[in-house]
């Protein structure tokens, strides 16, 4: 007998999002719950959830602050522990996902599958998937999953290049409209990060790299937006989403800030990456923006890195130039010392900085 899946009544209105802007964007989610506070969640602890998708989903598992990991962490913060089954493959379109559905999802017998698909179908142009073929592929993905007694959540595709009016997003509109229609017709849960992202862009003048690192793949803010959309679709209310966000803020190594120092030729580069939790990043950001001459976190770290390297170059140090550091094969030792100095500066900033504001308020 097929397992009965009770789908909560869904609202397709976009999640309300407030934006607080300094030199980088701190997103604050004030999510309107799509269910009554005492309604049960759509899933329960111990269930297996497959996350089918492209590189956005692959990174969602491979990165500490990816949206798949955030979904699992957000549920755990509310006493619901799931077993994630990552099934994201870079470059995949609906055609590719359909070809591997049995191997990567059905054979693993999950209780739920989330399907995130559409960016590559549109973005890849002639190598993508036409709308009518996309409709058939997505319908087949849903039908096969439901026939296997798997609960389905459909995610709308996130905007491409963070430019709502570009040709990609004009084309994507029909794809996302179909997904909303498909979710309603097939009684699937719907997470709508597309609508949520567009709400962010509409509230921000000339949005550029607010939610992504390259126009497509989410930065930590974008990952949180997608994860919040998924959790809300699973039925988390405002209070539960607040617990999830508090847990996300403590995940280490979510924000990666890379700083560089180029030699005279530009070919030789000293660089290091400083990894911070969201809580650390926002605390430092708040401290820096309250200075007489505010700077962003990347600007601060870049300036501190350059000053630290300068200590090893004449007249302060013994090396003629950054090129000489490379020639002396001392760059690794210097990077180690510079990173230690930067860590000390960050620790000092964190000690002095006020805590970031509670994202729930």
Q: Of 249, 282, 308, which residue sits at a domain end?
A: 249
Residue 155 covered by a domain: yes
Closest to 65 measured CA to CA, from 253, 230, 273, 234? 253
E-strand ranges in the chain read: 17-21, 25-29, 48-53, 83-88, 112-116, 151-155, 189-191, 255-262, 269-276
Q: Do residue 26 and residue 160 come from a single domain? A: yes
- Contact in structure between 148 and 107 (CB atoms under 8 Å): no
Alpha carbons 41 and 25: distance in angstroms, whole number: 31
Residue 297's pLDDT is 85
DSSP 3-state helix, strand, coil percentages of the chain (rounded to 5)?
45, 15, 40
Residue 355's pLDDT is 61
Alpha carbons 71 and 114: distance in angstroms, whole number: 11
Residue 10 covered by a domain: no
Residue 161 covered by a domain: yes
Alpha carbons 339 and 275: distance in angstroms, whole number: 11
- Structure-block tokens of residue 309: 């390297």
Q: Do residue 181 and residue 308 come from a single domain? A: no
- Structure-block tokens of residue 232: 């809300």
Residue 340 covered by a domain: yes
Question: Where in the sequence is the domain holding 198, given as residue range(s)?
Answer: 17-249
Q: Do residue 217 and residue 333 come from a single domain? A: no
Residue 8's pLDDT is 34
Q: Do residue 166 and residue 309 come from a single domain? A: no
Write out the DSSP string of 212-234: BSSSSSB-HHHHHHHHHHHHHHH
pLDDT tens readout for residues 197-242 = 999 988 877 666 789 988 999 999 999 999 999 999 999 999 999 9
Q: No. of H helices and E strands in the chain?
A: 13, 9
In the block, which residue shows the tokens 């297996």? 48
Q: Do residue 113 and residue 171 come from a single domain? A: yes
Q: Do residue 243 and residue 334 come from a single domain? A: no
Low-confidence ranges of the chain (pLDDT < 70): 1-39, 206-208, 264-267, 328-329, 354-361
Residue 357 covered by a domain: no
- Dihedral angle sign, alpha carbons of residues 176, 178, 184, 188: negative
């Amino acid at each position: 007998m097929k397992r009965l899946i009770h789908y909560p009544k869904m609202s397709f209105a976009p999640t309300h999002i407030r934006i607080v802007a300094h030199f980088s964007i701190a997103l604050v989610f004030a999510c309107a719950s799509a269910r009554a506070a005492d309604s049960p969640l759509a899933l329960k602890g111990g269930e297996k959830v497959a996350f089918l998708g492209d590189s956005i989903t692959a990174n969602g598992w491979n990165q500490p602050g990816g949206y798949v990991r955030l979904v699992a962490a957000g549920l755990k913060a509310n006493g619901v522990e799931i077993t994630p089954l990552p099934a994201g493959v870079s470059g995949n379109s609906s055609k590719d996902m359909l070809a591997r559905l049995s191997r990567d999802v059905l054979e693993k017998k999950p209780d739920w599958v989330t399907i995130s698909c559409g960016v590559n179908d549109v973005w890849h142009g002639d190598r993508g998937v036409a709308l009518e073929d996309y409709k058939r592929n997505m319908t087949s993905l849903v039908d096969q999953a439901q026939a296997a007694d798997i609960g389905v959540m459909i995610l709308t595709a996130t905007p491409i290049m963070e430019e709502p009016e570009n040709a990609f997003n004009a084309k994507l509109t029909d794809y996302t409209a179909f997904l909303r229609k498909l979710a309603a017709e097939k009684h699937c849960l719907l997470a709508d990060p597309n609508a949520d992202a567009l709400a962010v862009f509409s509230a921000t003048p000339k949005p550029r790299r607010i939610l992504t690192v390259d126009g497509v793949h989410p930065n930590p803010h974008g990952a949180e937006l997608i994860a919040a959309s998924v959790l809300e679709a699973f039925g988390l209310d405002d209070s539960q989403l607040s617990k999830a966000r508090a847990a996300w803020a403590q995940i280490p190594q979510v924000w990666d800030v890379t700083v560089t120092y180029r030699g005279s030729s530009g070919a030789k580069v000293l660089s290091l990456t400083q990894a911070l939790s969201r809580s650390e990043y926002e605390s430092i950001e708040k401290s820096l923006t309250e200075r007489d001459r505010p700077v962003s976190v990347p600007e601060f770290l870049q300036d501190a890195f350059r000053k630290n390297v300068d200590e090893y170059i004449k007249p302060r140090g013994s090396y003629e130039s950054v090129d000489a550091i490379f020639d002396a094969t001392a760059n690794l030792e210097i990077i180690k010392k510079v990173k230690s100095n930067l860590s000390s500066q960050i620790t000092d900033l964190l000690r002095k900085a006020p805590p970031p504001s509670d994202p729930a308020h």
